[in-house]
C-alpha cells in the first residue's frame, strides 16, 4: 500500500477514564469496552487518516450497506500482560493477513499494514491500564470493517469504516461443553466464504445452535453441506479429535477458517512429537472411536476460548460421553499456548509480539 502514516495518526484522548467503574472480577465477555477506539474511513477510493477517539456510538444511515448486504469482516485477537507489566500480542501478523483475506472475498478494500499496526500499538498504549496481568486475563481486541455507504442497491459499497475496539476479558468458556454434530443444517458451501471471518458466517449458526441447546448441547459441530459425513468446525472454533494418541483435524478449505490457535496447536504438537493427521475426519470414525473407547478427547481451538474441552457429543439421536483424561492434550496445549502468550515460556516459534 502506498501510504505511510507515522505522522498522520490523529489521537483524541478522553478527558476522564471510565476504568474505575469496571469490576474486573466479574466481566461478561464483550460487553465493556475500553476508553478509546481506532477508526479509519474509506472514501473516494482510499483509506483516510486513521484516528483514535473516545469509545462511543457511531452515526449510521439506515441505508448503510452493512445493514442490507452484510459486507462485514472482523478479527479476534488478545493482548496479554506479564508480571513485569509488559504487553504482548500473539501472532498479530496472522490476524492482519486474515482480515484482508476475508475482505477480499467480500469485495472490501485491503487495509494497509502500517495503519493497522501503528493504530493497534497506539491504542493499546493509551488503554494499557485496561490490560490486567494474571493468567487468563486479557484484553480482547476486535478489529472489524463494515460497509457504510448510504444506498440500498445490491453491489459492493464504495465507503467503509475500519475500527478496532477492545474489551477486557477473563476466560471465555466456563467448563467443558457438550456439542451436537450437525445432520441437516450447515455453515458454509464449497465456493462460498466459510474460510472468511465474515459476519454472514455467524448469523446462520444461531438458530441451529438454539435448537441444539434445547436438546442440552451448547454448541454445534458443523459437517460438510454435501453429505454431512465429515466434521468441519464449531463455528467459533476449529475442532480436534484425539483417537488413541493421534490428533485428527480437518484441513482448512474454502469452508473452514484457517484458525491461528489451530495452526499453533499443530506446530506445538509436531514439536512435541504428537502425531497430527490433518485430513478429512469422518463422523462415522469418531462415533466408532467413541464406541470402542479409542476416542480420548475432543476439543475446540480458538482465540476467545484458547482450548475448549468437549465432554460429550450428540449425533443421530445418540449421546456419546468422553471420559476425562488425566494428562489431557487439551490441558497440555492450553498451558503451552498460554505460557507463550503470557511470557512465561520461551518463544520458540517467535509468536510473541511486544507492544
Binding interface with a copy of itself (CB under 8 A): 28-31, 33, 37, 55, 57-63, 66-72, 74, 104-107, 140, 142, 144, 146, 150-156, 163, 165, 167, 182, 184-193, 198-204, 206-207, 209-210, 225-226, 228, 235-236, 304
Q: How far is CA 323 from the centre of its chain?
A: 28
Map grid coordinates 443421530 to a residue.
316
In the complex, minimum distance from the CB of residue 66 to a copy of itself, in angstroms, rounded to a whole number: 6
The residues near 71 (Cβ < 8 Å, ≥ 6 apart) are: 65, 106, 107, 108, 146, 147, 156, 157, 160
Closest to a copy of itself by CB, 235 vs 289, is 235
Closest to a copy of itself by CB, 165 vs 266, is 165
Handedness of CA 291, 232, 301, 72 (dihedral sign): negative
What's the distance, Cα to Cα, between the start and end of the chain in Å?
23
Closest to a copy of itself by CB, 126 vs 165, is 165
In the complex, minimum distance from the CB of residue 186 to a copy of itself, in angstroms, rounded to a whole number: 4
Closest to a copy of itself by CB, 190 vs 244, is 190
Q: Are 139 and 130 within 8 A, CB to CB? A: yes
Q: Select from 139, 142, 127 the least CA-distant residue to 27.
A: 139
In the complex, minimum distance from the CB of residue 273 to a copy of itself, in angstroms, rounded to a whole number: 34
In the complex, minimum distance from the CB of residue 119 to a copy of itself, in angstroms, rounded to a whole number: 14
Closest to a copy of itself by CB, 222 vs 241, is 222
Rounded to 5 degrees, φ, ψ at 315 are -160, 125
Rounded to 5 degrees, φ, ψ at 263 are -70, -30
Distance separating alpha carbons of residues 220 and 287, to the nearest angstrom: 16
Distance separating alpha carbons of residues 72 and 160, to the nearest angstrom: 9
Coil, helix or strand at residue 353 = strand
Q: And the C-alpha cell for 229? A: 459425513
Closest to a copy of itself by CB, 209 vs 261, is 209
In the complex, minimum distance from the CB of residue 111 to a copy of itself, in angstroms, rounded to a whole number: 16
In the complex, minimum distance from the CB of residue 292 to a copy of itself, in angstroms, rounded to a whole number: 29
Closest to a copy of itself by CB, 209 vs 343, is 209
In the complex, minimum distance from the CB of residue 252 to a copy of itself, in angstroms, rounded to a whole number: 17
Q: And the C-alpha cell for 346? A: 520461551
Amino acid at each position: 500500500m502506498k501510504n505511510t502514516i507515522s505522522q498522520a495518526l490523529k489521537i483524541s484522548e478522553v478527558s476522564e477514564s471510565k476504568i474505575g467503574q469496571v469490576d474486573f472480577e466479574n466481566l461478561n465477555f464483550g460487553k465493556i469496552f475500553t476508553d478509546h477506539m481506532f477508526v479509519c474511513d474509506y472514501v473516494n477510493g482510499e483509506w483516510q487518516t486513521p484516528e483514535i477517539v473516545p469509545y462511543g456510538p457511531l452515526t449510521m444511515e439506515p441505508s448503510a450497506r452493512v445493514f442490507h448486504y452484510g459486507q462485514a469482516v472482523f478479527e479476534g485477537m488478545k493482548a496479554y500482560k506479564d508480571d513485569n507489566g509488559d504487553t504482548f500480542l500473539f501472532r498479530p501478523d496472522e490476524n492482519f493477513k486474515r482480515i484482508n483475506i476475508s475482505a477480499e472475498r467480500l469485495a472490501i478494500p485491503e487495509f494497509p499494514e502500517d495503519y493497522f499496526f501503528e493504530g493497534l500499538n497506539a491504542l493499546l498504549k493509551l488503554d494499557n491500564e485496561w490490560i490486567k496481568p494474571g493468567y487468563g486475563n486479557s484484553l480482547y481486541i476486535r478489529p472489524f470493517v463494515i460497509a457504510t455507504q448510504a444506498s440500498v442497491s445490491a453491489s459492493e459499497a464504495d465507503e467503509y469504516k475500519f475500527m478496532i475496539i477492545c474489551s477486557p476479558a477473563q476466560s471465555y468458556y466456563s467448563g467443558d461443553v457438550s456439542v451436537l454434530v450437525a445432520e441437516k443444517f450447515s455453515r458454509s458451501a464449497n465456493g462460498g466464504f466459510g474460510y472468511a471471518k465474515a459476519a454472514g458466517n455467524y448469523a446462520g449458526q444461531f438458530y441451529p445452535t438454539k435448537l441444539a441447546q434445547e436438546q442440552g448441547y451448547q454448541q454445534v459441530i458443523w459437517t460438510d453441506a454435501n453429505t454431512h459425513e465429515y466434521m468441519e468446525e464449531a463455528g467459533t472454533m476449529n475442532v480436534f479429535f484425539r483417537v488413541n494418541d493421534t490428533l485428527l483435524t480437518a484441513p482448512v478449505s474454502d469452508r473452514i477458517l484457517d484458525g491461528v490457535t489451530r495452526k499453533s496447536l499443530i506446530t506445538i504438537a509436531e514439536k512435541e512429537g504428537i502425531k497430527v493427521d490433518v485430513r478429512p475426519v469422518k463422523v462415522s470414525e469418531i462415533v466408532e472411536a467413541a464406541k470402542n473407547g479409542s476416542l480420548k478427547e475432543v476439543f475446540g481451538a480458538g482465540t476467545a476460548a484458547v482450548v475448549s474441552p468437549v465432554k460429550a457429543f450428540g449425533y443421530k439421536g445418540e449421546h456419546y460421553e468422553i471420559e476425562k483424561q488425566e494428562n489431557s492434550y487439551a490441558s497440555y496445549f492450553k498451558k503451552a499456548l498460554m505460557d507463550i502468550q503470557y511470557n512465561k515460556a520461551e518463544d520458540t516459534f517467535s509468536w510473541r509480539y511486544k507492544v
